[in-house]
Amino acid sequence: MPRGPLQMLPGRCGRNLLGTSPPPPNLVRRRPDPESRMSVQNSQDNFGNENEKEPDFTWEVKANDRAYHRQFKKKVFLCWNRRKYADNAIKTSKYNILTFLPLNLYEQFHRTANLYFLFVILLQTIPEIATLPWFALLLPLGCLLIIRGARDLMDDIARHRSDRMINGRSCEILLGKSFCKKRWRDIQVGDVICLQKDDFVPADLLLLASSEPSSLCYVETADIDGETNLKFRQAPIITHKELVNTNKMAAFDGIVVCEEPNSRMHTFVGTLEWKGEKHSLDSEKILLRGCKIRNTDICYGLVIYAGFDSKIMKNSGKIKLKRTKLDRLMNKLVIIIFLMLVVISFCMAVAYGFLVVDFQSKHSYLSAFYSKSSVANEAFLIFWGFMILLSIIVPMSLYITFEFIYLVNSCFINWDLEMYYPPRNMPANARSTSLNDQLGQIEYIFSDKTGTLTQNIMTFKKCCINGLTYGTDGSSEEGLKAVSLSWNKYADGNMVFYDSKLLTAIRNDEDEVVREFWRLLALCHTVMVEEKDGQLVYQAASPDEEALVTAARNFGYVFLSRTQDTITTNELGVERTYQLLAMMDFNSVRKRMSVLLRDPEGTIRLYTKGADTVIFERLRPGCPNELATEKALDTFAEETLRTLCLASKEVEEEVYQEWNKRHHEASVQLQNRAQAMDKVYEEMEKDLRLLGATAIEDKLQDGVPDTIHLLKKGNIKVWVLTGDKQETAVNIGFACRLLSDDMEILEEKEIYGMLEAYWESNNNLRDAQDSGPRFQRQQSKMALVVTGDFLDKLLLRTGEEQPQTTRKHSWLARLLRPRGVQSAREDPASRRERAFVDLASQCQAVICCRVTPKQKALIVQLVKKYQRVITLAIGDGANDVNMIKTADIGVGISGQEGMQAVQCSDYALAQFCYLQRLLLVHGRWSYLRISKFLRYFFYKTFASMMVQIWFAFYSGFSAQPLYEGWFLALYNIFYTAYPVLSMGLLEQDMSAKKCLEFPELYSVGQKDQLFNYWVFFVALAHGTATSLVNFYVALWAFDDIAGPGGICDYQSFAITVATSALLSVIAEIAMQIKFWTILSIVAVSSSVVLYCLMSFLTQNFTAFRVAPTIFRFPYANQNALTEPYILLVVLLTVVINTMPSLAVRLLCHITAGPEPGKSYQDTRVKVSTVELKGHFQRNSVRRRSSYAFSHKEGYADLIVRGASICGKTPRGPHPKQDTSLCPRTNIKVKESP
C-alpha cells in the first residue's frame, strides 16, 4: 500500500529532522549578536511566544509519481472533497460564465439603495396602492444594474486575460524519459521540471541540480521581496552528485516530507528521503515561484508546492470589493430616509384614518360606500400609497449620475498631461472608476521602496582619498564638462564624473594612497565576471558592489577574473595576479569585509572596507587625514549619499603564518564556529591605515523628496514597507526626506519596553471608562523602524480563535464605541495590536523592513482596523499585490518588476512623484465635487418633493400627487440634473497650482467636512424650508382668487409650485458654483430650456387626445405662466428662498478668516521640477554606511571553496584553477507532440 503523509511525520520544528546531518557550513545562518539577543529576550517572551504555532510536517511529495498524489483528498465541506495537492493553474478573476449574473447581482444588492428601489418596484405592481407606473422605477434600476455590471465584467475580463497569459507560459516537464514542452497549468506536485536562464520559476521547487559548479543557482527575487540583487540557492549534495543525466532524473523517486503550505516566505523545513538515507532541506535549497533564474544556464527542480499552495500565492490576498466612505455613508443615509418615509407614511395613514372616521360620523347617509371596507384597511393601503409616492425623495438618478461623475473624473485623471511619463509613453490610468472621491480623504500611505521610491540604480558620485575630496554635481563652472574615459579600453561608457583632478591623480600614478584606494575597490569584493561579445559583464550580489567595482574599472583598475585562490586585475594597462590568502566575510555585526592577498612582489596586504563606525575604531593611532575624511563623510551624509570607508595595511610573513594557524583551527570547529571566526578576523583587522571613503547615490525617482514633503504637509503619514534590509531602507528614508536627524529612531528593544509599559497601564485601567493609556512621548519627533521578525513575534496569531464573548458583542461594541476608544473586553492579542498601532501612529515616520507580502497587508489591515482611516498602498511588484488589495486605494507603479501590481491596482502611475497631483489635486477636487453634488442633489430633491407632504393636509391625506406625472419623472433626469452635474464634474475652489502650494487644505477631506451627517441634515432642513415657502406662498396667493383665466384651479396651482421649486433650486445651485465655465452656463440655462420644451411636448393637446390618462395636463403651463399674477408669485417665491442664502453667504464672508493663500503664507511649499537634496544637521557621530548590509552573508565562503567559480573565465583557464568545476552537459529536450 502507498505510504500516507502522516506516516512520515518526522518530529517537531526546531530539531534536526529525522536525525539527518546538518547542512553545509556555508549555509548555516549566523546567530544574532548575543548581547542584543539577551537584551530583548524577556520582552520577546512576553510578546511573541504565547501565540506561536509549530508547523505540521504532513506534506509528502514523491518525485515522478503523479498517481501517488491523486489518491489524497481533502475535505472541504460535508461530503465534498477535493484533491489535497493543487495543480499549478491560478485564478485571480471573480466570475465565470455561470457565476457572473448571480454573484454580481448579489454584490450590487449589497447596496441598501438598490434593495430599497427593488422593494418599491414590487409595491408598485399592486394596483390598490400604485400611485406611479411600475416601470417608472424599474427602467432606471435596470439601467443602473446594467451599467455597473458591464463595468465589473470588463474588469474581470482583464483578470481572465492575465490568468491565461500566466497559466499559458511554457516550461519543460520530465514525462517518461525525456523533457517535453508544456504549459505552466500542466505542472503538478512531484514533477521534475527544467528551467533555463532568464526563466521565471513556475512553482515552489526543490533545486535538484544545475549547470553551475556545486549545483548553484542564482536567482533574482524582485517579485518577492523587491530586491534586484542576486541570491544563490544550492542543490543538496546527494542530488548534485547523482542526477547527472536525463535517465537518472527519470529514475529519481525521492520523497520530500515538509511543512504544509504556508505564507512564510523566508523559511522552509523538510527532509529528502532517497536510497535509504535522509537529508535535511532548508530555504537555501528552494526556488520560490516568481523568482527569475540568472547567471545559470540550466537548472532542475522538483515541484513541492504548486498553484495556490505556493508561498507567493499564499501571500496574495483575495479580491475585495472596495467602497468609498461616501458610498458607505450613502447607504446609511438611505436607511435614515427610509425610516423617515415610514414614519411620515404612518402618520399620514393615521391622519387619514381619523379624517375618515370624522367624515363618516358627520355624513352617515354615505355609509353605504364604506360598508365593504374598514377604516383600518383603507389606512393600510394609504400607508403604502404614501410609501410609493414619497419614494422619489431618493431617486435612482442619483446613482446613475454618481456613476457618470465618477467616470468623467476618472477620464480627467487619464487625460492629465502633468502625469504623463514620456520615456515610457505612459499616462496615468484610473483603472477603477468608483473611488475618486476617496483620493481626497487619504490619511496613511503605505509605500514599497525598491522600484517605487528608488530606481534601484547605484551611481558612483564622489570619493575622498587621502583627505582630498573629488567629485562635483556639475553645477559649478569647472564641473560642467564630464571627464573623458576614452583612454581606457575597458570603460563601459556609462559613467559620468565631473572632476578632472581625480583622473589626473590616477593617471600620474605618483600617489601611493590613490593607487591603493582604487586597487582595494578592484580586489575587495565578491563580484563574478563573465565575457559577452568581447565585453566584461559584472554580476554582483548587490548594486552597491557593482557600482564600486565598475567605478574602479572605468578609472583604470579593472577586475578581470578570479579563481578559487587568485584574483587577476588590469591596473592602468598592467595585468597583475594576486594570490588570495583569506576572505573575511561580513555580517550585520561586523559591518565590514576584508581580503588578505599576496601581491606579485610577494608582499602580504590586508584590504578592508566597511561602515565608517567600525573602520575608524580599527585605525592605527595618529592616522593622518582622519579628521579630513570625517568631514568629507559628514558632507556626503548631508547629501544623503551612501558612504563607505576603505583601509589597508601590510602584514608580516611571520604574523600571517601564526594567524593562519588560528584561522584554520577556528574554521574546523564544530561548535560556535561563527563566533570563533569573527574573533580571528578581529585579530587581523586592526592597526589599519585609512585610505579614504566612497560616496554612492542610490538614485531616487524624480521628485520623491518633494512629493513626500508635500504629502506630510497635507497631514498624510507615509509608511515604507519593504522586503529590503533595514539599513538600506533607513538610508533611503533619509534621502527622500522621510527621516531627518532631529528624529529619535526607536529600536526594537525600546519598542518592547514602551509596549510593556502600555500593557501594564492598560491592565490597571481596564475597568475604567476611558479610552486607555496613550503614549506620552510627544516632546520629540519619533520614527519607528521594525523588521518582519519583530512583527511576527508581536502581531501574528496563527490559528488563534477569539473569545466567544468578544465575537458576540463585537458589532454592538463597534457601534457604540467612539473612534479611538478601546474595549475592556478585547483579547490580549487585540490589545497588543492596538498598542503597536497607537505607538506607530504617533511617530512621524514608520519603516518596516524585511516584511513579507502578507505582513504588508497585515500592517495595512491593522491601521484600518484601529485608526479607522482611509489608506493608500503603492507598489510596483508582485510582492505588493496583497498590500494593494487590502488598502482602500491601491496604486500600481509601472516599474522594472513587471505589471503585476498595476493589474491589481485601482490607479496606475508611471512615477511616485505623480502621487502628489493624484491626491492633492484630483483627489481634492473629486471629493469637493462629489460632496457638493450630494449636498445639493438632496437639497433640490427635498425642496421639490417635500411639497407632497404639505399638499396631503389639503387633499384629505389621500396620497394624491400634487405634480404632473411627467414633472415627477423628468425633474431629476432633465430639469435639475445638469446644474448639479456640472458641479460634480467641473467645480473647483482653487487651481491645481494653488492645491500644490497649500497642501494643508487637503485636510478638509480627511475630516469629512464637506459631506457628513450634519451637512445632510442641513440640506434636509434647507430643502424643507424651501418646500414650505414654495407651497404656502402659492397657497396664500391662490386663496379666494378667481380670475378670468381660471388661475385658481388645481393644475395652475401645481404648475406654480413646480415652477417656483425649479427656479429656486437652480438659483441656489448657481450661487454655490465657484468655478464658472461655458459648460456650467450651458448646464444651468439648459434646465430652463428643457423645462419649457418638455412641458410643451407633454402638455400638447394632441398628446392628450392620444393618451388622456398619461398626458393629463393639456396646456397647463401655457395657461398659468402667461398670467402676470402667477409670474409675480413665482418671482416672489424665488426671492424669498434666495435672500436667506445670500445673507448667510455674506455673513460667512465677513466673519471668515484670511484667504487660504494668506493663512498659509509662511508654510508655502515651492513645487520644483527637480529633485531636492537633503541638508540635514549632522549632530550625530553615527553615520550611515550602506555596504555592510548590501548583500547576504555567504558569498565569500563560496568563492574561497571555489563553488561559484566556473572552470572557464573570460581570459581563459588559470593554471591554478580547478578545471573540474565546469558546467555539466546540457540535457536534451524534445518537443511534446
| 3-state SS assignment for residue 429 | strand
Helix 135-167, helix 397-415: angle, nearest 10: 40
Active-site residue identified among 223, 448, 612, 888: 448
Strand, coil or helix: what is 620? coil
Residue with C-alpha cell 400609497?
A: 385
Confirm if 1153 and 583 have CB atoms less than 8 A apart: no
Residue 64 parent element (H or E): none
The one-letter amino acid at 880 = D
Of 693, 694, 729, 647, the C-alpha closest to 550 is 694
Cα 127 from chain centroid? 53
Give me 1038's grid cell. Answer: 391662490
- Which residue bears the cell 493663500? 1157
354: part of which helix (H) or strand (E)?
A: helix 325-362
Burial of 71 by CB count in 10 Å (0-12 exposed, 13-18 middle, 19+ buried)?
exposed
Q: How far apart are CA 936 and CA 983, in angstroms?
A: 9
Q: Is 478 helix (H, G, I), strand (E, B) or coil?
A: helix
Provide the grid cell at 391. Answer: 419614494
Minimal CA–CA distance to 256: which of 219, 206, 199? Answer: 206
448 as an active site residue: the answer is yes
List helix spans (H) across 480-611.
500-508, 512-523, 543-554
Nearest to 831 by CA among 804, 855, 797, 860: 797
Q: What DSSP assignment string belongs to 960-993? A: --SS-HHHHHHIIIIITHHHHHHHHHH--SS-HH
Please tell me whether residue 153 adopts helix, strand or coil conformation: helix
φ, ψ at 141 (rounded to 5°): -65, -40
Packing angle of the helix pair 325-362, 924-945 (nearest 10 deg):
0
* Type of residue found at 1032: Y
Gap between the Cα atoms of 935 and 929, Å rounded: 10
Q: Is the dihedral angle over the CA atoms 1037, 1042, 1046, 1051 positive or is it negative?
A: positive
287 within 8 A of 217, measured Cβ to Cβ: yes
Q: Give the end-to-end CA distance of the chain in Å, rounded to a whole number.
A: 34
Residues 577, 566 contacting (CB under 8 angstroms) = yes
Name the grid cell of 325.
466612505
| 19: enclosing H helix or E strand | none
Query: What are phi and psi for residue 450, nearest 5 degrees?
Result: -70, 120
Which H or E element spans position 442? strand 442-447
Whole-number Å distance between alpha carbons of 1194 and 26: 6
Q: Is 216 left (phi over 0), alpha (psi -120 to 50) or beta?
A: beta
Q: Are strands 845-849 and 781-787 parallel, antiparallel or unpaired?
A: parallel
> Among the residues of 1099-1207, which ranges form H helices?
1101-1106, 1116-1120, 1124-1151, 1156-1159, 1195-1201
718 - beta bridge partners? Answer: 445
Continuous H helices in 697-747: 704-713, 726-735
Q: How far is CA 629 from CA 9, 638, 690, in A?
A: 59, 14, 9
Write the CA distances from 41 to 231, 753, 832, integer angstroms.
Answer: 30, 12, 17
Catalytically annotated residues? 448
